[in-house]
Amino acid sequence: MILAGYLIVPGIFGLELTRSKAVRRSFAFARQKGGEPGFSLNYPFMLLKLIAGSMMNKIYINVLLLFVLFPLTESECCKAREVVSVGRWACFEASVENEKKYEDPYTDVALDVTYESSDGKVVKFRGFYDGGRTWKIRFMPDRIGTWKYDAVFSDGSTGIIGTFECVRSDIPGMISRDRTNPQWFGYKGGEHLLIRSFHVGDRFFAENWPASKRKEFLDWFQKQGYNMLSVASHYLNRDVKGRGRGWRTPDLWPLNAAEYQKMEAILDDLAERRIIVYPFAGFFGQSSDFPVNHRQQTEYLKYTMARLGAYWNILFNVAGPEPKIKPNEFQNAMTAADINRLGSEIGRLDIFGHPVSIHNPGGDDPFRDEDWLSFVTLQGWKGTNFSDIHRGLLKNHHRAKPLYAQEVFWPGNKYHDIRSDVDIRKKAFVIITSGAAINFADMDGESSSGFSGSMEMTDRNQTRHDIVKKVWDFFETIPFYRMSPKQRILDSGFCLAEEGRCYLVYLLSGGSLNVSVVAGSYKVTWINAQNTSDRRYAGMTNNGRNLSAPDDGDDWLLFLTAENMSCSGSLTHQ
């Protein structure tokens, strides 16, 4: 079918029709990242109406109207606006230009956004100033289907409206607690997750650390099986000796869009690589220039959340390390009351519900039971007294929160008494059978030393990484995510169990033990911890008593599985 339309050409006097809010809003509709405003047959008539209205208001505009009859097919009309597709859990982004001048565009005006899914879910969030005349909005959709959005400036400046289509993606979901057992980390999409974390120093986000070096490190990191980075100078530059001095890492306060953009370019790469990020120093880091004034702290958090909230792969940390015992390195502004206030505020501002914690000093976590805290972060138990390590980790468990052994297992660090490769293997097994996620390191003195500090391939101790990788690889062969520490049911070793289904016991040096099992028949398998492919079937047991490890080897794993039940591991949703 052929339709008649009119082409309206502005006159030689340079008509600025976009000064009209109504016209600007019509062209802003669905102006998404990489998109253009759609064309409508109503535009010519709308423009004529606006011109007429302007003339009636004594605003004289010289316009040359040239009416041209041209053919326009229905199919061409339908192609006028391209549909924007965004993967589930990915980051939707749209831009809007605001020509009004502000003394402080970061705080003088707010860009409030309402999102609505096709099934009626309504979410309110905020946009952010991104430099020049540009503001942006970002959102992480969690539901398949069409989403509508409407962004409005608080001072009445023209905003933006539009839609996007949320489609299936290979992103497993935002990092969160495991659905099956919240004592482990997992993904909101339902997949399970065994954290394989590695700590790196202050240079990681630095613009003066060559991108080629970062790529080389990350390629190795992924090949080694790691999936999470603990990064020292993240959010705020720590310009002190032994920390971030000399490295031009993003410095987010005072608010500076250009600094955020530097950080986001690297975060985008990490998200693409499916790497999770833990900010070692957090929003309010030790030896950094974070805001102290409460109003400015809120401004900083709001702006950072608007920019980073839509990333599926980031954890949040209020402050660290060790605000409790080093108050002068936190501008004397990070008391327990401040931490609780800021932790609660982060939770209130974060509509997506990222896990949030606090980087504590050595010992117990005094914030473990606070409502705002969603995972426990521990420092301490740095040696190889394995019984003490186990007791310390169990003491800090929370029945509904994961436990992150952040600064517990750093071989090569002068404060961590880990003397041999055997110690590395045994400590890895003890930590995981204690129900904790490992943050590993490869150091040579201070926390910013060795391979963790330099990320130079020639500085790494490859043997250390291979040892802990084998331990992680083993745990992915069993359903660890359904199991929890159950020390009360045995008289020797360290135990994870899903009672009545499967039991895993780690013995530091073989021997015999008794396990109080739920009544039933269980297959007995002994697994050599030095080589977990060495698995020895030892018959059946009905009571779990008088079970003895093989005479050879050193440390052993006992795996009891209920008869006719599968206890193989899978990180996909079950």
End-of-domain residue from the set 46, 78, 110: 78
On whether both 411 and 296 belong to a single domain, the answer is yes
End-of-domain residue from the set 140, 167, 194: 167
Structure tokens belonging to residue 137: 């909005």
pLDDT in tens, 257-285: 999 999 999 999 999 999 999 999 999 99
Report the pLDDT value the prediction gives residue 570, as an integer from 0 to 100: 55
DSSP state letters, 213-238:
HHHHHHHHHHHTT--EEEESS-SS--
Amino acid at 486: K
On whether both 223 and 303 belong to a single domain, the answer is yes
On whether both 396 and 501 belong to a single domain, the answer is no
On whether both 120 and 232 belong to a single domain, the answer is no
Alpha helices in 404-557 (DSSP H): 421-433, 450-454, 462-475
CATH number at residue 92: 2.60.40.10
| 61 is a domain residue | yes
Structure tokens belonging to residue 143: 């539901």
On whether both 290 and 433 belong to a single domain, the answer is yes
Structure tokens belonging to residue 563: 């008869």
Contact 37, 31 (CB under 8 A): yes
| Residue 424 burial (10 A CB sphere; 0-12, 13-18, 19+) | buried
On whether both 153 and 203 belong to a single domain, the answer is no
Structure tokens belonging to residue 326: 């080093």
How many angstroms separate the Cα of 330 from the Cα of each of 50, 241, 297, 322? Answer: 57, 16, 14, 9
On whether both 497 and 465 belong to a single domain, the answer is no
**Structural domain span for residue 148:** 85-167
pLDDT tens, per residue, the chain with 574 residues: 333 333 333 333 333 333 333 333 333 333 344 333 333 334 444 444 444 444 444 333 333 333 333 343 333 333 334 789 999 999 999 999 999 999 999 999 999 999 999 999 999 999 999 999 999 999 999 999 999 999 999 999 999 999 999 999 999 999 999 999 999 999 999 999 999 999 999 999 999 999 999 999 999 999 999 999 999 988 888 887 777 789 999 999 999 999 999 999 999 999 999 999 999 999 999 888 899 999 999 999 999 999 999 999 999 999 999 898 889 999 999 999 999 999 999 999 999 999 999 999 999 999 999 999 999 999 999 999 999 999 999 999 999 999 999 999 999 999 999 999 999 999 999 999 999 999 999 999 988 899 999 999 999 999 999 999 999 999 999 999 999 999 999 999 999 999 999 999 999 999 999 999 999 999 999 999 999 999 999 999 999 999 999 999 999 999 999 998 888 765 554 4
Q: How many domains does the chain have?
A: 4
| 110 is a domain residue | yes
On whether both 459 and 486 belong to a single domain, the answer is no
237: left (phi over 0), alpha (psi -120 to 50) or beta: beta
Contact 477, 194 (CB under 8 A): no
Contacts of 539 (CB under 8 A, 6+ apart): 524
Report the pLDDT value the prediction gives residue 234, as an integer from 0 to 100: 84
Alpha helices in 211-335 (DSSP H): 211-223, 257-272, 294-308
Report the pLDDT value the prediction gives residue 237, as an integer from 0 to 100: 80
On whether both 416 and 532 belong to a single domain, the answer is no
On whether both 254 and 311 belong to a single domain, the answer is yes
| 417 is a domain residue | yes
Which of the 8 DSSP states describes residue 82?
P
State phi, psi for 249 to the nearest 5 degrees: -85, 155
| 9 is a domain residue | yes
| 465 is a domain residue | yes
End-of-domain residue from the set 456, 476, 496: 476
| 572 is a domain residue | no
| 573 is a domain residue | no
Task: Report, in this order, helix, strand and coil percent for the chain, each rounded to 5.
Answer: 25, 25, 50
331: left (phi over 0), alpha (psi -120 to 50) or beta: left
Residue 353: CB atoms within 10 A of its CB come to 13
State phi, psi for 357 to the nearest 5 degrees: -150, -170
Beta bridge partners of 93: 138
Structure tokens belonging to residue 564: 């006719």
Of the candidates 179, 557, 93, the residue with the CA atom closest to the CA atom of residue 402:
179
On whether both 364 and 377 belong to a single domain, the answer is yes
CATH number at residue 409: 3.20.20.80
With residue 337 as reference, give the H or E element that holds it: helix 336-349
Rg of the chain in Å (alpha carbons): 29
| 574 is a domain residue | no
On whether both 23 and 109 belong to a single domain, the answer is no
Of the candidates 468, 477, 462, 473, the residue with the CA atom closest to the CA atom of residue 422:
468
